[in-house]
Structures are given as structure tokens and as C-alpha cells.
Structure 1
Amino acid sequence: MAAVRRCRDLLRSLRPILWKEGIFTKQPIPRRSLYMIAAASGCTLAIHWFYKQGQAIVPVVHARETEKDEPPKERVTHREMRFRQFASVEYQGNIYMTPQDFLESVTEECPRPRIGRVKLAAQDVEGMLRQTPSRSRGSNKLFRNLHDKGIISYTEYLFLLCVLTKPRSGFRIAFNMFDTDGNQIVDKKEFLVLERVFSKQPDSEDGEGRKMEVLSKVIPAVETRIQDTSLMIHFFGKYGKDVLKYDDFHRFMENLQSEVIELEFLEFSKGMNTISEVDFAHILLRYTLLDRTEIDECIARVKDRIQQEKGITFQEFKKFCQFLNNLDDFSIAMKMYTYAQQPVSQDEFQRAVRVCTGFTLGKDVVNTVFQIFDSDGDGHLSSPEFISIMKDRLHRGSRSHLMHTQGNWEAFRQCIRNEMKSN
């Protein structure tokens, strides 16, 4: 009963705050939102709300008793939680993603429905690894061709997320951080430094950057048996004796980026050579912190202002995605406008893109971007807001996923509002 009283008192104390913040109104609250409130306040699955003359009465909460001496649970990071959501196979007590799981984790908001994880036997894993192609057979369809015939560990998942956000200029830096002895090749032992670094570093927005910074300083003891994965077989061969040169590393990173970009494009192109400007806006606003109302407003602006659809080709879309990987350099170029508190025109935007990437974006692409974010229609863009939103998009469900702000009141409040609007 102590747990029940604690939950009751907590909800009573939250009620005036929620009302003041505008989350609660005199209208009936959707049941899904109430369940979220229950979960956030430590209750289990049950809240019943009653209304009388337009006023909400104190809720009745059912909560289970917890053990007083129950040890505190270890904090699970948002990336680990997302990995667990999408990982569909298990082997020897460890959870793994398939290549298909990984692709879905960076292109979809939620995993496909399934009942539990598939438990693999030793012969299943051996068969998968035998089908893994060598580096010489690598392509921008590697993950799609492997589909569910492969395994990816959690630390490799983090590594692959890093690959997706690296600009081409960062490929060499990433390779050199793995190359701990500086001989311009990476062997299996050096690659396994990843296991030690990613498992020990704290999680944060720029966590991967700090993890990569210390790669050259951490040499793990790799004499113990480590389970081979599809990535290790692809890089170092069946017996782990092959080595990775920079050209191989560069090609793998470029192929993976191209594969994910192409996968997103094909989702909306439906076999055509172009996607519409509205489709482009939908892709761009994925995984951002904008709520549903704001996203709907952005999409409506594109529909209203671009009356004649011209379409965006795959090459134009790919260029824009490559530009997003250079956002840090772009933000430096934009700082002069920020300091002067000046909005940015389309020509100035294009010039900054060319300075930091060496190429220009298609005019239709830039025009669509401006229609998405130019709320007052003055033909200018607020670069800090654009950069912030695009950083969420760049990290594809990692940086801006709701789990990233666990325990954050503002994120919880926004989540409740979104759920209420969707009902």
C-alpha cells in the first residue's frame, strides 16, 4: 500500500502543474496519454479518470508493491534502448541485430511487429557468417543483400551510427583513430578496441566523438574468445588474418552512407526517378524535435507555396544528405550572419554550402528547404534554428529520439501534448 500512496500523492502534486502548463483541459483526456502519465509517475498500467461538471476528480491509481531492498536498475542509454527495440535475434544470451534490423533502425521510427526474438543455434550463426561476402565483394547493397542472414553487436551498431554521420573529410580521421600503431593498416585486434571504448564511455550527444578520441589510447586484452560477427568477417576474413587499408575503410563508409540514403529515397519514389517536394519535406522532418502540429504546418507551407511539382532526383537528394554530414562546417560559415543577427537568403545559403562542401545543391532542393522553414514567407532563413533541427535529422533517431531526454520534464510535457493531438 505504501507504493499506492506514493503514486497517489505524486499525481496529486503533479495535477496543478499539469493544469497550469496547459496539458490538462476540461476535455476528456485520451486513455493513451493517461497511461503515459501513469508510467512516468512510477505507476503500473492503471489510471481511471472521472469527470463531473467539467472538472477532473483525483485519479484512482493501482500500483504494485516493490521490494524495499530492490537494487537500483542500471541506467539504460537511449541508444541501447533503441538497439534492444530493433534487435531481433539472440545467441548465447547476447542480443544482436540483423543487417535488416540495422537498416530499419535508421529509417523507421518503430520496429516491425514481432513476437519475441529468434534464438539462434551455433549452426545458424556459422551459416550466416559463411554467407558474409569479403571486402572485394562489398557494395552499396551489402546490408540489403545480407538481409536477416547476419549478426551485428551493440558496439558495432554504435560504430555504424558514427559512420552514417561522418563527412568525407572525416573518413581519414576515423581510420587513423583505429590505426593505433600508425602503420596505415587496421587489423582485427585494433578494430576490437571498439569493444572496450564503446562499452565504457558515458553517453551524450557527442559521445561518439569522445569515444573515437580515446580509441588510440585504449588497447584491450583480446586473447579471450570474442564472438565473430558479420562485420568482422567482412573486414578481416574467416580466420581474422586480413587487414583493413584506408581505401577499404573509405569504400565501406561511402557504401553504407549511400545504401541508407538510397533506401530512404526508394521508400518515397515508388519506382519513379524523382520524389515530390512534399515527400522530401517528410523525409527531412523525420526524427526532429518538432511536434506534429509544427510538422503539419511545414508540410502545408510546401503544398501551398510550391504549386507546380518539379520533383527531386536521387542525386540531388544524395547531395543534400552529404551536405548534412558537413553541418558543423556549415554552422561555422553561418556564424557571421548569426553575429550580425541577419537572416539568410537562398543565394547566401548556397554560397555557404559551396564553401564547406565544394558543391552546390539543386535550386529546387534549396527552395523546398526554405519553404519548409520560412514561416513568415519573407524569403529568408534563420540559420541557427535550421542547423539545430537538421542535427536531429542527421542523427536519425539517435540524438532526438524521445528516449534521449528521459526524465526531462519538457520532453514529457511535449510527448503528452502530441499524444493528445493525435487522438
Structure 2
Amino acid sequence: MAAVRRCRDLLRSLRPILWKEGIFTKQPVPRRSLYMIAAASGCTLAIHWFYKQGQDIVPVVHARETEKNEPTKEKATHRELRFRQFASVEYQGNIYMTPQDFLESVTEESPRPRIGRIRLTAQDVESMLRQTPSRSRGSNKLFRNLHDKGIISYTEYLFLLCVLTKPRSGFRIAFNMFDTDGNQIVDKKEFLVLERVFSKQPDSEDGEGKKKEVLSKVIPAVETRIQDTSLMVHFFGKYGNDVLKYDDFHRFMENLQSEVIELEFLEFSKGMNTISEVDFAHILLRYTLLDRSEIEECIARVKDRIQQEKGITFQEFKKFCQFLNNLDDFSIAMKMYTYAQQPVSQDEFQRAVRVCTGFTLAKDVVNTVFQIFDSDGDGHLSSPEFIAIMKDRLHRGSRSHLMHTQGTWEAFRQCIRNEMKSN
């Protein structure tokens, strides 16, 4: 009980900080609930549950909005919550990600510890925008080089997430969507259409006002007016007079995909030229909605069946990630086997990859994939299961139609079971 009391006191001491950041509403967690959770599964799980209450279950509402007669707040989406969770800076009442925040949001489960958000001044923002390189100086290290010297808006965050999941064949389609007048260039005004596309703001003034009102209540710090950002300066220059051609757009999308892929690879390679097959399995499964026990079973199969480690290079890993961006086309090819009720071998898998992408994957990569998903060891793959799990991986576990399962009692019970298994 002494440990439980210490856990309770720790949580209570954190409340003022978390309320100040708008992470929790001022709804006290019942003492009985805290005791039951802490006693059943340990102080660590109690903290995890308390944290999830604020981040995933309770709508994000600032303390100043919990006044009497305040109308019921609409629950923020998973992506809005994740943006708030990782965004580390604030300017003129709006919250923004830094380039480093964005990279962390797509490679980490949770942000690094910090005390509050940094409030930027006009001079800070101006200095950041001056340091933003032009398109001609863009590279696959753009976000890492900028680090915390830049700002990214919520709508740009959604745009960048879309970029990460686009196959190369989709780059032209994405560009043409921005090129509203069809002159093969995109200017700043056309690019800002994404403010309405991603925010789904109605065209009418009344509708737009209602949308802004909802945004200000659910995610009050998300921008409701246009502010120059690092991305806009990178694309259109300091004065916004430059234009974006398809080659520029293609290069940016390819560089961003390469940067995130390289970041994930380097996390496991530790400076070496390859990652192990087990590391590859960890990367593939860590963004999926498989529970801990299922992931452990998959990892165990890889360890048992691949006795001699060959290693997977960055180029081989990058090719697999590019293949995942073509998952929709691959699923169409796989349906032929599903309809015929035919199992999929490694050769047939490779043939489908080549048809969809124009290239084949390294044999060791395909073999590792099969060991992960071939539970009965018959040398064949269940393509529907593979595609469903890899779609979670591609979208890093944040597919919106699956988010309704988060925060449910069943999810909490599963968390309890997993925690008890590990003790």
C-alpha cells in the first residue's frame, strides 16, 4: 500500500502541470479507481492509465474553457490529439510543431519529456523563417537540419502525413490536386487551399465561422488564421512570390520519405551498415495494433527460424517501405489468390510486388516477412492478415476507422492482461 500511496501522490503532484498544458480536464479520477488499478497491475500501469485518460479518452480542453454553462465539447480526432501531444511551441495563441516534433511524431510512440510548451516571440519566428533553406537547398536531411528552428501548422502536419504514405505513382496526382488552374505550377495561393481541404472548412462565412468555433473549442491552439511557416517559406520563398514546379514537389516528397525511413533505420543500426532480421521485425510490428503477446510470438518465430543472421541493408529496407506505399495495388493482386483460395508462396509474393512496383525485394527481406506472419510454418502467407497489419504499419497505427477501439473498456482490460503477463 505504501507504493500505491506514493504513486497516488506522484500523480496528484503532476496534475497542475498537466492541466496547465491543456492535457487533462479538471475531472478528478476517483480514488477507488486509482487504488484498484495500482493494486491490480502496479504503479507503472496506473500512471499509464491516468496518462491515457488525458490523452486518448478525455477530449482536450483548456482549463479556461471549463466555465459554467459551457456547451459540451466535441471530441478531438486521434490526429488532432497526436498533434497536440507532440507540438512543443506556441505562437500568438496557436500551437505548432517544430521539424523535430514532426519526426518524433512519426517515429516514436510518445514525445520526449518536457515542461510546458515554448512561447515564441515574433522575433523568434522571424529568425526561424530566415534560417529555412530554399528549395534548391532541400535534401533528405531538411527536417533534421532544421531541428527545432522551424514551425509546422496542423494542416501542414496532415499534408506531411499524406506525403509519407504516397507511392511514387501518386506524386503527380497529388501535385495536380494543388495545381487548380492546370498551368503545371503551384503558387502560394493554390497551396493554401490545403488549409480548407484538410480542415474541411465550408466555403460560406457562417460555415467557416462555425468550423473555427469548433476548432477553438476542441483544439483551441490549432491555427485559425494563416501564418507563414517553414514549409511555406521553403516552397515559396521569404516573400511568397516563388512557384512550385512538379520536379520540386516530387523531390520534396521523395526526400521526406527517405528522411523518415533513414531515421527509423539508424535507430536500430547503431551506426552499422545493416540491421538484423529481428530488428526488421520490430520495426514492422511496432506501429501495428497487435497486442504485446502477439508481437512477442512473431519475434520469437523469427529468432527460432532464422538461425544465421544475414542482415538487411538500408537500401533493402527502403525498398520494402516503398513497397508498403503501394499496398493498395498489392492487395488487388493478392485478391486473385484469395478468391481462388490459394496460399501465397514467397515466389508468388515477389511476383505480385514486381507487378505493383516494378522492382523485387531482397530474398532475405521476404523470407523474414514470411517468418513473421507464417504462424503454422507451412511456407505460405495469409495475404489478408498481412495487408491489414501492414496498413496499420504504413499509417503508424493511426487509421481513423480503427480509433474507435481506443479508450474502450476492452482495450483497458487487454492492457491489464498484457501487464500481468510481463510480471
For this structure pair, what is the TM-score category when the shorter chain's length is used for normalisation? Answer: 0.7 to 0.9
The DSSP-based 3-state class of the residue aligned with 2:294 is helix
Deviations 1:95-126 (A, max 9, x none): 00000000000000110000011111111110
**Inter-partner Cα distance in structure 1 for 2:39 and 2:252:** 42
Worse overlay, 63-72 or 41-50: 41-50
Deviation (angstroms), 1:202: 12
The DSSP-based 3-state class of the residue aligned with 2:204 is coil
Deviation (angstroms), 1:66: 9.3
Summarize the Cα distance change of 1:319–1:201 in structure 2 as closer, same or farther, 3 Å threshold.
farther
Deviations 1:236-280 (A, max 9, x none): 000000000000000000000000000000110011110000000
Summarize the Cα distance change of 1:101–1:67 in structure 2 as closer, same or farther, 3 Å threshold.
closer
Summarize the Cα distance change of 1:373–1:42 in structure 2 as closer, same or farther, 3 Å threshold.
closer
Summarize the Cα distance change of 1:250–1:73 in structure 2 as closer, same or farther, 3 Å threshold.
same
Deviation (angstroms), 1:75: 1.6
Q: Which has the larger radius of gyration?
A: 1
**Inter-partner Cα distance in structure 2 for 1:122 and 1:68:** 34
State the match for 1:9 in structure 2: 9
The DSSP-based 3-state class of the residue aligned with 2:47 is strand
Q: Do the aligned residues in 2 keep the contact of 1:205 with 1:399 (CA within 8 Å)? A: no
**Inter-partner Cα distance in structure 2 for 1:335 and 1:151:** 43
Q: Do the aligned residues in 2 keep the contact of 1:298 with 1:372 (CA within 8 Å)? A: yes
**Inter-partner Cα distance in structure 2 for 1:311 and 1:276:** 5
Worse overlay, 296-305 or 32-41: 32-41
Q: Do the aligned residues in 2 keep the contact of 1:128 with 1:150 (CA within 8 Å)? A: yes
**Inter-partner Cα distance in structure 2 for 1:217 and 1:28:** 21
RMSD over equivalenced CA pairs, Å: 10.2
Deviation (angstroms), 1:416: 3.9
**Inter-partner Cα distance in structure 2 for 1:422 and 1:133:** 48
**Inter-partner Cα distance in structure 1 for 2:205 and 2:40:** 23
**Inter-partner Cα distance in structure 2 for 1:325 and 1:100:** 23
Worse overlay, 4-13 or 377-386: 4-13
Q: Do the aligned residues in 1 keep the contact of 2:24 with 2:54 (CA within 8 Å)? A: no
Summarize the Cα distance change of 1:353–1:153 in structure 2 as closer, same or farther, 3 Å threshold.
same
Summarize the Cα distance change of 1:33–1:17 in structure 2 as closer, same or farther, 3 Å threshold.
farther
Q: Do the aligned residues in 2 keep the contact of 1:99 with 1:144 (CA within 8 Å)? A: yes
Worse overlay, 362-371 or 190-199: 190-199
Summarize the Cα distance change of 1:380–1:179 in structure 2 as closer, same or farther, 3 Å threshold.
same
Summarize the Cα distance change of 1:21–1:302 in structure 2 as closer, same or farther, 3 Å threshold.
farther
Q: Do the aligned residues in 1 keep the contact of 2:98 with 2:149 (CA within 8 Å)? A: yes
Deviation (angstroms), 1:4: 22
Deviation (angstroms), 1:397: 3.9
Question: Number of paired residues?
Answer: 423
Deviation (angstroms), 1:71: 2.0
**Inter-partner Cα distance in structure 2 for 1:30 and 1:224:** 36
The DSSP-based 3-state class of the residue aligned with 1:90 is strand
Q: TM-score, normalising length from structure 1?
A: 0.79
1:359 matches 2:350: no
Summarize the Cα distance change of 1:154–1:419 in structure 2 as closer, same or farther, 3 Å threshold.
farther
The DSSP-based 3-state class of the residue aligned with 2:44 is coil
Deviation (angstroms), 1:409: 5.1
Deviation (angstroms), 1:139: 0.4
Summarize the Cα distance change of 1:204–1:113 in structure 2 as closer, same or farther, 3 Å threshold.
farther
Q: Do the aligned residues in 1 keep the contact of 2:4 with 2:39 (CA within 8 Å)? A: no
**Inter-partner Cα distance in structure 2 for 1:418 and 1:205:** 50
Summarize the Cα distance change of 1:52–1:367 in structure 2 as closer, same or farther, 3 Å threshold.
closer
Deviation (angstroms), 1:200: 1.9
Summarize the Cα distance change of 1:378–1:70 in structure 2 as closer, same or farther, 3 Å threshold.
same
Q: TM-score, normalising length from structure 2?
A: 0.79
Summarize the Cα distance change of 1:322–1:211 in structure 2 as closer, same or farther, 3 Å threshold.
farther
Summarize the Cα distance change of 1:212–1:355 in structure 2 as closer, same or farther, 3 Å threshold.
farther
Summarize the Cα distance change of 1:4–1:58 in structure 2 as closer, same or farther, 3 Å threshold.
farther
Normalized per residue, which structure has more helix?
Answer: 2
**Inter-partner Cα distance in structure 2 for 1:98 and 1:51:** 23
Deviation (angstroms), 1:88: 0.5
State the match for 1:217 in structure 2: 217
Matches within 5 A, 1:243-282: 243-282=243-282
1:410 matches 2:385: no
Give % identity. 95
Deviation (angstroms), 1:73: 1.2
Worse overlay, 296-305 or 33-42: 33-42
Summarize the Cα distance change of 1:65–1:257 in structure 2 as closer, same or farther, 3 Å threshold.
closer
